């Protein structure tokens, strides 16, 4: 599939933030996470499937999310990820960082 | 966090298959979901699936990356490296065997020596809170005297007036005769004040220890037995407490038994009894005498939280008070020293020296193994270059090489531990008897930890060289044309450097060993001033309660001497107080009658021996001037004395001492004025290593003791002599024990046990070091010759004489050796003064030793280089060149 110029590749590290944000209100499986991100960003942010799962496993390894087997929409087994308390804290920190960073970049762009 | 990480990693390792399956299921589930969504865009199912797969990208890559997140890789890599390392080691058994043998020798020797250092120096004394324990001693700073015991009166002042100590006790040791259970025999008797066991916080095995009531004069006589004595003499009788035993013909009630794990400081005997000072036939008289005799060792427990300076301040106050109260205490000061330091002080330097020496041996061993590894790394350079070219990271390869080294080190350590077990078993019987024996020397947990850490550290040291050589490796060069012609300069220089280092270390080791050997030779060639050959000594001591007056002692000694001399072949028999080197020494203050009194606190001292008339003949001590003692010198004739030449020279430099009078005496007989009637030659009274000091001799009949040493010079065998001494003694009194029997040469020999032990071990280590260094040089030169076969072939083909090739290789060897010797000699010069204290009549910068060591190494270097050089000489140019 040819790259779609209207869709943005994700910056390194921002994927973690998006995953944590997507999982804030409810537990969901990997595919749903990518769908949710795409949906909310109105199809602008495209999650590379090949990096989604390593990111999920990384976050699980760090203890920010935890996984449990559940049943997907298709009636098959799927791993559902949910935010842990540590993950919730991390989300706050990263959201804060991101706002600071994006505000700073916006200011630089306006001034330059 | 770290722990959790380890758990996750372990889980990943142990449940790898299940986790992989789950991962696959999760990813498949994702693709299914994507295909399901794609179907909503009205594609047919197969197309939707294909698209979903495309959208997902590489399934394998995603799987791999997910696995990496689990952190499985580093453990897996380690397992692979270990497996690979074992395969490599198996593939070159020769290399592995030599490397392992070298390492096992190095690590084993270190572990064995460490187990001695650990037991003797590092482990705290086996008492509760041992760091609170101190030795309280008296010193006379003006006279340079320190570390002496205390008299009873100052001790009681300390006991009552000191707040810094939570408990304080005095002890002395001698022997009493135990009768009633089997043969009469002497037992080591520790005479203690009643707080002795509470200072050391020691608990009995049976019964109880002393309480203050036991220490009062007039209390019932009680005794505490050692477990050893209880087992050997009383058959471990569980009803022993309350029974009576006879010591010096007097009954004592047993109140307790101390466990074998309990050791009396300074008294190294397994068969022991403890009795209260007030009940001792010998020392109890000292409780009422004014101070002056420093006979009692005093130990104390410092209250927790009180600093040494505060203790000292308090002791200074008490000391000042004592000096006012007792004239004999003027000029004396009370000092404290940690008990551990007092007990291990003498052996610290020699033991640390051995540890350093054996550490140097290990360093040489490391250099040897590093050398072997470098040679192998060079032969393996192609393998490594191919792997780098195929994409292996240098870090990855370095890691694998280090794993190989660690495996080698661990295996070496394992065999080394076996070597250590064997080494300890061999060394323990050789340990000098004077070594403190609070803990048995053995390979225990801490020693094993030491061996493990040492093996790891060793692996890092010898692994560094090959790893560094990988860091500098260039696959282009290795795989390119002409790579065969020779090795690159880097590893070759590294190997030469290692060989130089080995030689330098060997020089330092050999110099140390050489100095100790020369010193030991000097020590054993010292003329003791007396003739020990064919002289046998034995001790006869009289029970105090039976033989209580000096008259009885004189009568007994004269009877003994007369009967001994009457035996065939035993004409040369004598009786004397402390024998030189054997018992060392009774030191007394003396005053020269007619000289102005000395400054307050100062005193002239000399070693004192009462002897029977034949003593000087038996011992072969020549008379210089005047006369010797004879049978007519008795308690009813004027008191006389003989002095040694050293005393005459020091105190009568410009006058004739004959006819002058000296005031001195052993307190039992009182201090009296004695006329100097003769001068005898000096003897080494204290030890072979100590210069003869001033000596005073008095007739035994004028200054008898309750027991004495018998010395007999005879051409009879020593067992015949001993038998005769026994028969004669038991003919006078069948209950008298004859103990401490030994030929004098044996005693002289035993007196140098410590220097002999360290000289022997250091010599052994130096020999191993030299051998390893020789192997090192041999390895470097023969490897260089084999790598240069091609070059040598060309040289020969161009007309070089075999002799010149031989010369070239030998020159190369000698250059390495000489550089190593130069570095080693400077190292030896820089460090030799550290062992000055262990040397006797040999300067630490002894040129003879340095020259001999250098010559030895040149010879060894030449020999180690000659063998490969001869091979170089025989290189056939045709073969060598065809090889290319």
Q: What mean pLDDT do residues B524-539 have?
A: 89
Report pLDDT for B91. 85
Q: Which residue in A has a C-alpha nearest to residue B2's C-alpha?
A: A62
Per-residue pLDDT tens over the stretch B618-628: 999 999 999 99
Q: Does residue A3 lie in a domain region? A: no
CA B797 to chain centre: 60
Query: Closest by alpha carbon to B558, among B732, B747, B769?
Result: B732
Structural domain includes residue A74: yes
Count of domains forming chain A = 1
| CB-based contact B37 A30, cutoff 8 Å | no
Model pLDDT, residue B63: 78
Question: What is the C-alpha separation between B627 and B633, in angstroms, rounded?
Answer: 12
- Cβ contacts below 8 Å, chain A against chain B, sum to 70
B835 vs B676, more confident? B676
| Least confident range of A96-110, B743-757, B865-879 | B865-879
pLDDT in tens, B423-442: 999 888 888 877 887 888 88
What average pLDDT does chain B have?
85
Distance CA B418, CA B393 (A): 38
- Give the CATH number for residue A19: 1.10.10.10
Residue A34 falls inside a structural domain: yes
Q: Which residue of A has its CA nearest to B62?
A: A50
Q: Which helix (H) or strand (E) holds A52?
A: helix A49-62
Can you give the residue range of the structural domain that contains A29?
14-111
Within a domain: residue A8?
no
Whether residue A50 and residue B65 make contact (CB cut-off 8 A), yes or no, is yes
**Residue B37, number of CB atoms within 10 A of its CB:** 16
| Nearest-angstrom CA–CA distance, B493 and B438 | 50
End-to-end CA distance of chain A: 37
Element (H, E) at B345: helix B339-379
pLDDT of residue B2: 56
**Is residue B878 pLDDT above 80, yes or no?**
no
Distance in angstroms (rounded) separating the CA atoms of residues B715 and B100: 55
- Coil/strand/helix, residue A46: coil
Give B42 to chain A, closest Cα distance, Å: 17
The pLDDT of B216-242, averaged and rounded, is: 90
pLDDT in tens, B79-91: 888 888 888 888 8
Contact B357, B766 (CB under 8 A): yes
Q: Using pLDDT thresholds of 50, 70 and 90, give the confidence band for residue B545.
A: low
Over range B148-161, report the average pLDDT.
Answer: 86
Question: Strands B672-680, B640-644: parallel, antiparallel or unpaired by DSSP?
Answer: parallel
- Summarize pLDDT for B327-337 with one digit per residue, the tens: 777 788 898 99
Give the confidence band of B65 by pLDDT, cuts at 50, 70, 90: confident
Q: Do B678 and B625 meet the contact criterion of CB atoms below 8 Å apart?
A: yes
* Chain A residues whose beta carbon lies within 8 Å of the beta carbon of residue B27: 53
Residue B659 is classified by DSSP as T
**Comparing C-alpha atoms, which of A87, A85, A84 is closest to residue A95?**
A87
How far apart are alpha carbons B137 and B312 in whole angstroms? 12
> Which positions in chain B touch A1 (Cβ < 8 Å)?
51, 54-55
Domain assignment of residue A65, yes or no: yes
Strand ranges in B66-164 using DSSP code E only, listed in sequence order: 133-140, 145-148
Q: Is residue A9 part of a domain?
A: no
The token pair that represents B25 in the structure block: 């299921």
Decide if pLDDT at A69 tops 60.
yes
Span B95-137, pLDDT tens digits: 888 889 989 999 999 999 999 999 888 888 889 899 899 999 8
User: Are the C-beta atoms of B451 and B413 separated by less than 8 Å?
Assistant: yes
Nearest to A78 among B26, B54, B65 (CB): B26
pLDDT tens by residue, B451-492: 899 988 888 888 887 777 776 666 666 665 444 444 556 667
| CB nearest A31 (choices: B22, B33, B61) | B33
- Residue A53 belongs to a domain: yes
Contacts of B72 in chain A (CB under 8 A): none
Q: Look at B377 and A83; give whichever has higher pLDDT.
A: A83
| A79–B26 C-beta distance less than 8 A | yes
Q: What's the pLDDT score for residue B647?
A: 93
- DSSP 8-class letter at B122: I
Q: Is the pLDDT of residue B4 over 70?
A: no
Confidence of residue A6 (pLDDT cuts 50, 70, 90): very low
pLDDT, residue B487, reads 52
Average pLDDT score over residue span B769-785: 86
Residue contact A72–B22, C-beta within 8 A: no
B118: DSSP letter: I
Nearest CA-CA distance, residue A99 and chain B, Å: 28
Q: Which of A49, A68, A73, A76 should we substitute to test contact with B (largest number of B Cβ atoms within 10 Å)?
A: A49
Residues in chain A: 112
Q: Quick one: how far is CA B486 from the chain centroid?
A: 49
**pLDDT, greater one: B291 or A102:** A102
Dihedral angle computed from the Cα positions of residues B539, B542, B544 and B547, in that order, rounded to the nearest 10 degrees: -150
The answer to whether B210 and B276 have CB atoms below 8 angstroms apart is: yes
pLDDT value at B867 more than 50: yes
Q: What is the pLDDT of residues B277-302, one digit of tens each?
A: 988 877 887 788 777 778 889 999 99
């Amino acid at each position: 599939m040819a790259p779609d110029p209207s869709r943005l590749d994700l910056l390194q590290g921002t994927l973690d933030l998006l995953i944590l944000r997507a999982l804030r209100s409810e537990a969901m499986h990997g595919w749903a996470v990518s769908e949710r991100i795409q949906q909310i960003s109105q199809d602008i942010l495209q999650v590379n499937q090949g990096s989604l799962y390593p990111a999920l496993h990384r976050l699980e390894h760090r203890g920010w999310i935890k996984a449990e087997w559940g049943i997907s929409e298709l009636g098959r087994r799927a791993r559902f990820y949910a935010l842990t308390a540590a993950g919730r804290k991390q989300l706050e920190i990263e959201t804060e960082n991101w706002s600071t960073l994006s505000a700073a970049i916006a200011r630089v762009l306006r001034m330059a | 966090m770290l722990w959790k990480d380890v758990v996750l990693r372990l889980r990943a390792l142990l449940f790898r298959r299940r986790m992989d399956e789950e991962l696959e299921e999760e990813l498949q589930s994702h693709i299914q979901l994507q295909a399901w969504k794609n179907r909503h865009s009205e594609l047919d199912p197969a197309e939707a699936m294909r698209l979903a797969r495309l959208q997902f990208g590489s399934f394998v890559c995603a799987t791999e990356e997910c696995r990496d997140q689990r952190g499985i890789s580093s453990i897996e890599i380690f397992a692979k490296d270990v497996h690979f390392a074992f395969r490599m080691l198996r593939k070159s058994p020769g290399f592995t065997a030599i490397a392992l043998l070298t390492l096992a020798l190095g690590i084993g020797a270190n572990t064995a020596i460490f187990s001695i250092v650990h037991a003797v120096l590092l482990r705290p004394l086996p008492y509760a809170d041992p760091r609170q324990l101190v030795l309280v001693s008296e010193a006379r700073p003006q006279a340079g005297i320190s570390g002496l015991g205390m008299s009873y009166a100052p001790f009681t002042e300390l006991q009552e007036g000191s707040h810094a100590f939570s408990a304080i006790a005095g002890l002395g040791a001698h022997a009493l005769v135990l009768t009633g259970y089997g043969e009469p025999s002497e037992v080591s008797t520790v005479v203690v004040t009643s707080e002795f066991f509470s200072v050391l916080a020691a608990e009995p095995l049976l019964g109880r220890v002393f309480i203050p009531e036991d220490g009062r004069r007039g209390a019932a006589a009680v005794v505490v037995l050692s477990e050893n004595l209880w087992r050997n003499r009383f058959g471990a009788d569980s009803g022993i407490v309350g029974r009576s035993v006879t010591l010096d013909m007097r009954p004592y009630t047993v109140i307790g038994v101390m466990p074998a794990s309990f050791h009396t400081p300074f008294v190294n005997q397994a068969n022991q009894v403890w009795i209260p000072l007030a009940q001792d036939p010998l020392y109890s008289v000292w409780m009422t005498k004014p101070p002056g005799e420093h006979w009692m060792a005093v130990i104390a427990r410092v209250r927790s939280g009180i600093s040494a300076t505060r203790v000292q301040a308090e002791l200074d106050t008490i000391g000042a008070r004592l000096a006012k109260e007792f004239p004999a205490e003027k000029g004396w000061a009370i000092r404290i020293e940690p008990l551990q330091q007092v007990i291990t002080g003498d052996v610290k330097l020699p033991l640390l020296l051995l540890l350093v020496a054996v550490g140097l041996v290990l360093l040489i061993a490391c250099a040897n193994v590093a050398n072997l590894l470098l040679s192998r790394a060079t032969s393996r350079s192609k393998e490594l270059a191919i792997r780098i070219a195929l994409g292996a990271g240098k870090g990855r390869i370095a890691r694998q090489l280090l794993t190989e080294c660690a495996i080698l080190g661990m295996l070496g350590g394992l065999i080394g531990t076996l070597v250590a077990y064997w080494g300890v078993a061999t060394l323990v019987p050789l340990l000098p008897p004077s070594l403190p024996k609070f803990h048995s020397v053995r390979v225990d947990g801490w020693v094993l930890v030491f061996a493990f850490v040492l093996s790891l550290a060793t692996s890092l040291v010898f692994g560094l060289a090959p790893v560094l050589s990988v860091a500098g490796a260039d696959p282009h060069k290795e795989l390119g044309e002409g790579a065969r012609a020779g090795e690159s300069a880097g590893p070759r220089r590294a190997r030469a450097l290692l060989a130089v280092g080995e030689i330098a270390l060997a020089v330092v080791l050999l110099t140390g060993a050489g100095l100790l050997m020369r010193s030991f030779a000097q020590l054993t060639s010292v003329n003791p001033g007396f003739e020990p050959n064919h002289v046998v000594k034995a001790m006869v001591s009289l029970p105090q309660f039976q033989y209580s007056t000096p008259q009885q002692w004189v009568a007994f000694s004269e009877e003994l001497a007369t009967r001994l001399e009457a035996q065939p072949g035993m004409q040369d028999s004598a009786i004397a107080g402390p024998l030189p080197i054997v018992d060392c020494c009774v030191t007394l203050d003396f005053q020269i009658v007619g000289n102005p009194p000395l400054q307050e606190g100062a005193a002239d001292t000399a070693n004192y021996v009462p002897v029977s008339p034949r003593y000087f003949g038996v011992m072969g001590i020549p008379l210089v001037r005047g006369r010797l003692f004879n049978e007519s010198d008795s308690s009813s004739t004027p008191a006389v004395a003989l002095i040694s030449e050293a005393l005459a020279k020091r105190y009568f430099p410009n006058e004739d001492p004959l006819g002058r009078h000296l005031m001195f005496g052993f307190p039992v007989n009182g201090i009296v004025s004695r006329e100097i009637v003769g001068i005898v030659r000096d003897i080494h009274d204290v030890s072979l290593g100590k210069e003869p000091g001033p000596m005073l001799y008095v007739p035994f009949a004028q200054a008898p003791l309750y027991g004495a040493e018998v010395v007999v010079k005879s051409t009879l065998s020593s067992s015949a002599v001993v038998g005769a001494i026994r028969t004669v003694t038991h003919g006078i009194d069948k209950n008298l024990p004859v103990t401490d029997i030994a030929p004098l040469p044996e005693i002289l020999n035993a007196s140098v046990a410590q220097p002999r032990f360290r000289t022997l071990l250091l010599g052994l280590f130096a020999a191993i070091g030299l051998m390893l260094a020789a192997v090192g040089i041999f390895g470097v030169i023969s490897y260089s010759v084999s790598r240069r076969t091609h070059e040598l072939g060309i040289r020969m083909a161009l007309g070089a004489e075999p002799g010149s090739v031989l010369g070239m290789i030998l020159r190369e060897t000698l250059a390495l050796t000489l550089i190593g010797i130069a570095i080693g000699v400077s190292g030896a010069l820089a460090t030799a003064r550290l062992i000055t204290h262990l040397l006797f009549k040999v300067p630490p910068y002894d040129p003879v030793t340095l020259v001999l060591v250098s010559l030895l190494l040149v010879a060894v270097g030449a020999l180690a280089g000659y063998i490969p050089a001869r091979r170089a000489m025989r290189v056939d140019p045709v073969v060598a060149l065809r090889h290319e």
